[in-house]
Structure 1
Amino acid sequence: MTQKRQIHFSAYLVGTGIHVASWRLPEAQRNASIDLAFYQKMAQIAERGKFDIAFIADSLAVNENSHPNILNRFEPTTLLAALAGATSKIGLVATASTTYHEPYNLARLFASVDHISDGRAGWNMVTTGDATGETGRNFSRASHVEHDERYKQAEEFIDVVQGLWDSWEDDAFVQDKESGVYFDPQKMHRLNYQGTYYSVQGPLNIGRSRQGQPVIVQAGASEPGQRLAARTAEVVFSHVKDFQKAQEFYKSLKGKLADYGRTPDQLHILQGISPIVADTKEEAEAIHRQLSDLLLPEQGLRFLSGYLGKVDFSKYTLDTLAAEVEFPQDNGIQSHFERMTELIQKVNPTLRELYALLEGGVNQELIGTPEQIADVLEKWFTQKAADGFMFVAPILPKGLEDFVDKVVPILQERGLYRLDYEGDTLRDHLGLHKPVNRFVARNSLVES
């Protein structure tokens, strides 16, 4: 009997919230981005709401234009380990770059978190967009790797990482005190990988976890990103704001899975949302206006510069039409550039309006009452524009608390969302099978 499809949720945890002005609210906590107790509280709120994932993003460069909540923050895998001790069920996912890590170190980091959390870890695999070129300069590189080349490198990187995670069979560590046998040498496997970008021997110095391997998460929307996701990802984060385009993306990506011998239920697509929940529509709109009023004009322009690359906004005012500005399609995140171009062609906004459209991803449909927001999410879920949602709250922790307390119960009453966790690992929450160790599977094929 096929299990009923239900919504999946991930909570994006970033200081006082994704809105650039959220830190200026009277109730906002100072230094929230480096307060462990603050993050533990947010993860516990999300766990109370039966969320699948508590998610920590990352970047490897900051400058004067960066979002305030990323200027001073924890390294994400370190934070995941701390959150593991404050929670017991929720999955723990963090971002790490294939362009600025070595596969062996990254495999060890996430395998360690997977053990510490007893099988609740996931890796958000990114190739790192670098619109300003500053990330490369932090890693002794004169330039950033080109977009398509980054994805070719990532293809090898993930194969190495997953191969290393299978270095030991599940029962390799015998630890028999009587015989003195600590491990079974037949169940230790060296990867001996030789490729274009990597040469890695193995084995990894940590075994498989309760869930076998950390869950693979990705967010690439470009064609190379979608191909990589179709082959390797188990969760994909997307930020398509138009319902019809979200349906098209959903169908396109799910349709690519068969090329790699996979089925649609082996990959979940979570669309990014930034709802503002209140008891009335008027109250929700007032919260949104308050955030907009706290945004300094020059801060909006600086954010656009950091978001979109090397543009000298000093030549323009906030009332300049965005169509009059020459935006370079550089070596950053292609989906950002494509989204901005589409907005300019469709809306013809001023720079002030363009910032409002880009910041925080607030969708006017998601500013309202719990029932209104639940209706939108139900539509996107049931009509296959999403398998679930990445909850990117404009304000934290209040935005997350309001959603958990007011929207989640409605979705539960409608039978769209779990009443409780039915397992203990992240794979359990997502309905994903524990992957078979590749060396065991290979040996089984040889024997048969």
Structure 2
Amino acid sequence: MTTRNRQISLGAFLMATGHHVAAWRHPQVPADAGQNFSHYKHLAQVAEAAKFDALFIADSIAAPTEQAASAMARSDLFEPLTLLSALSAVTERIGLIATATTSYNEPYHVARKFASLDHLSGGRSGWNLVTSDAAAEAHNFGRAEHFSHAQRYSRAREFYEVVTGLWDSWDDDAFIRDKATGQYYRPEKRHVLDHIGEHFQVKGPLNVARSPQGQPVVVQAGSSEAGQALAAETAEVVFTAQPSLAAAQQFYRGLKARLERFQRQPEALKIMPGMFVVLGASQAEAQEKFDALQALVQPEVGIALLGRMLGNFDLSGYPPDQPLPPLPLTDSGQRSRQALLTQMAAAEQLTLAQLGRKIAGGRGHYSLIGTPAQVADELQAWFEEGAADGFNILLPHLPAGLEDVARYLVPELQRRGLFRQDYSGTTLRDHLGLAKPALRVRT
């Protein structure tokens, strides 16, 4: 595959203290990073100076409930839409992508918030559409049990239809605000959704004008069969965890091939695998940085994280020095991640504690630990050999992890002609090479 007229897209995955589960214990990391706006402001400006396509903020709407929760750092975090709205005022070009679950939100709320962020930022917002995989979230929203896997995806499909329908409530030129005539908008350019479905009844229209991008960019992260089916029909960017180049190529080919049945072109969907990146002046230095973080992992924390990633299983009662026990197919978590981690445990013959420690950094994402040139070689191979259109970069600890990528890796990619020297547009769609969607009037 040639890179002619193609360049790598890069997202900066900002997980408060960093992606490594023990990052908050690192001496260079502000322990209060989850609710430290100055910290996030610095990160956003570093990423924008490096010309990243977007910042990506994940979310959970429940505090950790594992037995080891008191040793975990993800219990006090900003709500991501609020955070990105604030960051939109201290940045100018970088995209702003946030997670909002379809399981425990209402479509009107999500449509209104992301449309508002698109206006606030001048066309830089993106919605990461997810179905909640944290079973604990159910108890915060009046449910005794989490939605089943099938229920979550059925609700998500309709949720998407309502949100995008609400984003098409107004023509681009609907609001004339003519003081002389007293006419605020043209009634013929208002479109009432009047949706009645299995999960939602939403009249509309949205009380926010059509956004600068037409619609915020729709991002998804599901790699299960249901997730891929939804992404092929609706997503514009897909984040995915893939364990190898060969697996990533297979996923890339398969998902791109699904687009044809929805009359979509391959370039309408950008596939961006997550990459956990640790940089050093030498391979040894990079490994030393990673090992220093690994040394901070408490075994019970690694196992608690593993249970959560496998699909909300409590593994605290199993011997940590024994193999991963047989587990049923998760109905509340990510089935694709459960399959990936189960295969990893079997292939490498890892004990429970070893597997928990192994995923403490990348959580099953591909890990790159080395010099800027070595990491760039891998990214270039994935990009040129049909495995990725770009990458969501997982930083081990913050801010140093992002600063290293901006200072050393990005210039190496630029030197190879694989990444932009400067922004050529102003919106997230411009950065990603995605077309503005035509307005659709639902009937």
Bin for the TM-score computed over the shorter chain = over 0.9
- Structure 2 counterparts to residues 295-310 of structure 1, below 5 A: 295-308=297-310, 309-310=312-313
Write the deviation string for residues 48-105 of structure 1: whole angstroms up to 9, x where unpaired. Answer: 1111110110012123435833210001100110010010000000000111111111
- Structure 2 counterparts to residues 390-405 of structure 1, below 5 A: 390-405=392-407
Letter in 2 for 1:290: A
Q: 2:139 maps to which residue?
A: 137
In 1, the alpha carbon distance for the partners of 2:46 and 2:73 equals 20
* Aligned-residue offset at 1:314: 3.2
| 2:80 pairs with one of 76, 90, 93 | 76
Q: 1:179 maps to which residue?
A: 181
In 1, the alpha carbon distance for the partners of 2:386 and 2:47 equals 24
2:304·2:315 contact (CA, 8 Å) conserved in 1? no
Structure 1-normalised TM-score? 0.94
| 1:118 pairs with one of 111, 119, 122 | 122
Query: Is 1:93 matched with 2:94?
Result: no
2:25·2:31 contact (CA, 8 Å) conserved in 1? no
In 1, the alpha carbon distance for the partners of 2:27 and 2:362 equals 23
When residues 164 and 395 of structure 1 are mapped into structure 2, their CA distance, relative to the original with a 3 A threshold, is: same
SS in 2 for 1:271: strand
1:55·1:92 contact (CA, 8 Å) conserved in 2? yes
1:273·1:389 contact (CA, 8 Å) conserved in 2? yes
When residues 415 and 51 of structure 1 are mapped into structure 2, their CA distance, relative to the original with a 3 A threshold, is: same
What's the RMSD between the two structures over aligned residues? 1.7
Write the deviation string for residues 315-359 of structure 1: whole angstroms up to 9, x where unpaired. Answer: 413x2222xx23332321111211122112211111222113322
2:93·2:427 contact (CA, 8 Å) conserved in 1? yes
In 2, the alpha carbon distance for the partners of 1:156 and 1:365 equals 35
Write the deviation string for residues 175-214 of structure 1: whole angstroms up to 9, x where unpaired. Answer: 1111111110111110011211111110000011111110
In 1, the alpha carbon distance for the partners of 2:384 and 2:376 equals 12
In 1, the alpha carbon distance for the partners of 2:209 and 2:366 equals 47
Structure 2-normalised TM-score? 0.95
In 2, the alpha carbon distance for the partners of 1:268 and 1:364 equals 18
In 2, the alpha carbon distance for the partners of 1:260 and 1:326 equals 38
Letter in 1 for 2:27: P
Write the deviation string for residues 357-407 of structure 1: whole angstroms up to 9, x where unpaired. Answer: 322228786111110000000000000111110111111111111111101
Q: Aligned residue pairs: how many? A: 435
When residues 365 and 129 of structure 1 are mapped into structure 2, their CA distance, relative to the original with a 3 A threshold, is: closer
Q: 1:333 maps to which residue?
A: 334
Q: 2:323 maps to which residue?
A: 321
Q: 1:11 maps to which residue?
A: 12
Letter in 1 for 2:327: F
Q: 2:63 maps to which residue?
A: 62
Letter in 2 for 1:327: L
SS in 1 for 2:184: coil
| 1:127 pairs with one of 122, 125, 131 | 131
- Structure 2 counterparts to residues 30-429 of structure 1, below 5 A: 30-65=31-66, 66=69, 68-130=72-134, 133-308=135-310, 309-317=312-320, 319-322=321-324, 325-330=325-330, 331-361=332-362, 366-429=368-431
SS in 2 for 1:106: helix
Unpaired runs of 5+ residues, structure 2, are none
* Aligned-residue offset at 1:244: 0.2
* Aligned-residue offset at 1:302: 2.4
Q: 1:446 maps to which residue?
A: none
Larger displacement relative to structure 2 (339-348 or 271-280): 339-348
2:218·2:235 contact (CA, 8 Å) conserved in 1? yes
Unpaired runs of 5+ residues, structure 1, are 444-448
1:108·1:204 contact (CA, 8 Å) conserved in 2? yes
Write the deviation string for residues 120-151 of structure 1: whole angstroms up to 9, x where unpaired. Answer: 00000001113xx3211111101111112211
